[in-house]
Structure 1
Amino acid sequence: MTRPDGRVERGNRTRRSVLRRTVDIASAEGLEALSVGRLATELRLSKSGVFALFGSKEELQLATVREASRIHVERVVTPAAEVPAGVGRLWRLCECWLDYSRDRVFPGGCFFYEVVAEFDARPGPVHDAVAKAQRDWTGHVERVIAEARDLGELHADTDVPQLAFELIALMETANAVSVLHDETVAYRRARVAIATRLRTAATEPSSVPEPSSVPKTFSVPKTSSALELP
């Protein structure tokens, strides 16, 4: 049996440690705030060691986008997929996203809300990676909606891309308002709006919680961050 190379294992651990820090920084300050020197100082690593893991600032940024995508799937997409396809899964997907923002999985709220604004008009590989992540998320929401429509749980004439656009807009607005004002009321407002919209689109409105049943307050953990993920 081949023995694992200890250097490779140490390198993988260091890479994971660096990326756990980079997603936090980028979510609050943007991808341009990442630098080998800063990471080496904060994580008590050598600059040459950090540089060897990524090779360039651009690759560090790309790796950070990939790591943020992985965490997003882990915290939003995977839990929602445990609910059977249909309106219930769609509602759960929206709830998981709002929880992901509210619980500050990333200190700056939604990682992609920050970096999309940073790179939306800047061509290049990082822009393309961010755009792909945004398209993948939108595409996933659209697939969940289409499943619910095809199961007969949403009206047959439901405009899938339009509904996805509306739901994502409500979630992102809640994220932006909450981060800006350091409050949680926006998450309740988004839940009420999403519940109202889905009850209108559903063939059985009772399959979606009544807006009046949404809790009036939510607490935000003060220390939650991507660093706590395995």
Structure 2
Amino acid sequence: MSKGKQTRDNILNVAFKLASENGLESLTIGELAKQCGMSKSGLFAHFNAKENLQAAVVEYANEIFIQRVIVPARADKCTCYKEKITALLNHWLNWNQSFQGSCMFLDAWREKCVNQTPAQQVLKQAIESWLSYLQIQIGKGIENKEFRSDLDPIQATFELYGLYLSAHLYHSMYGQDESTKRFWLGVERLILDWHGSD
């Protein structure tokens, strides 16, 4: 790995931690340079603009998301799609809680949901990719005759995401234990409905 790549990765790692604590919009070239022990001009040379920095941080966050959520679920010894989806949801919820109940993707989306900044474009692609991945797993469960044949993977994913958003809110209001309990009660009911009477 080149020295430039190492420096850039270190910057993104520090930026990711700062954004996780204070939100993506809080990132500035000046504060990040201070935290990295660099000059503003030295850090600026890697990204050229705050918007490019934010987009790079979202890309970096998505790579970490894949490593923390999708890769571990693939490594779990799941014998059916119910187990695989449950594993994905477990790692997904842990991802949320690792930011003290404040998912960086949700926060970043809320901060500038109207403007199509570079960060917003990368963020949209990351979320769409994750939604698509969930839909594919549910679709495979249908093909495998594990879930009922008339189940709509898009609607099922929509409802799962609704539970995730609710867990995000409840974590902030009532704490992790209550949030986790309500999340899994909702997931159990959803998956029971997916099986139906087929």
TM more than 0.5: yes
Write the mapping of 1:3-152 to structure 2, written as runs, cut at 5 A.
9-82=2-75, 83-84=78-79, 86-102=81-97, 104=98, 106=99, 109-152=102-145
**How many residues are matched?**
195
Structure 1 distance, partners of 2:31, 2:53, is: 13
Deviation at 1:110, TM superposition (A): 1.5
Deviation at 1:85, TM superposition (A): 5.5
The residue aligned with 1:162 is 155
Judging changes above 3 Å, is the alpha-carbon distance between structure 1 residues 115 and 84 closer, same or farther for their aligned structure 2 residues? farther
Judging changes above 3 Å, is the alpha-carbon distance between structure 1 residues 133 and 93 closer, same or farther for their aligned structure 2 residues? same
CA contact (8 A) 1:36 1:57 kept: yes
Structure 1 distance, partners of 2:132, 2:41, is: 39
Q: Tell me the alpha carbon deviations over residues 13-48 of structure 1, each in whole angstroms, 9 at most, x when there is no partner.
A: 221221112222223433221111101112211212
Structure 2: any 5+ residue segments left out of the alignment? none
Deviation at 1:182, TM superposition (A): 4.5
Higher RCO, 1 vs 2 (CA within 8 Å, ≥6 residues apart)? 1
| TM-score in terms of structure 2 length | 0.89
Q: Runs (4+) of structure 1 moved beyond 6 Å? A: none
Judging changes above 3 Å, is the alpha-carbon distance between structure 1 residues 70 and 170 closer, same or farther for their aligned structure 2 residues? same
CA contact (8 A) 1:30 1:115 kept: yes
Structure 1 counterpart of 2:50, one-letter code: K
Structure 2 distance, partners of 1:150, 1:72, is: 27
Deviation at 1:125, TM superposition (A): 2.4
Structure 1 distance, partners of 2:111, 2:51, is: 14
CA contact (8 A) 2:55 2:120 kept: no
CA contact (8 A) 2:51 2:117 kept: no
Question: Hey, which of these two has a bigger chunk of helix by percent?
Answer: 2
Which is further off, 85-94 or 146-155?
A: 85-94
CA contact (8 A) 1:26 1:33 kept: yes
Of all paired residues, the percent bearing the same amino acid is 28
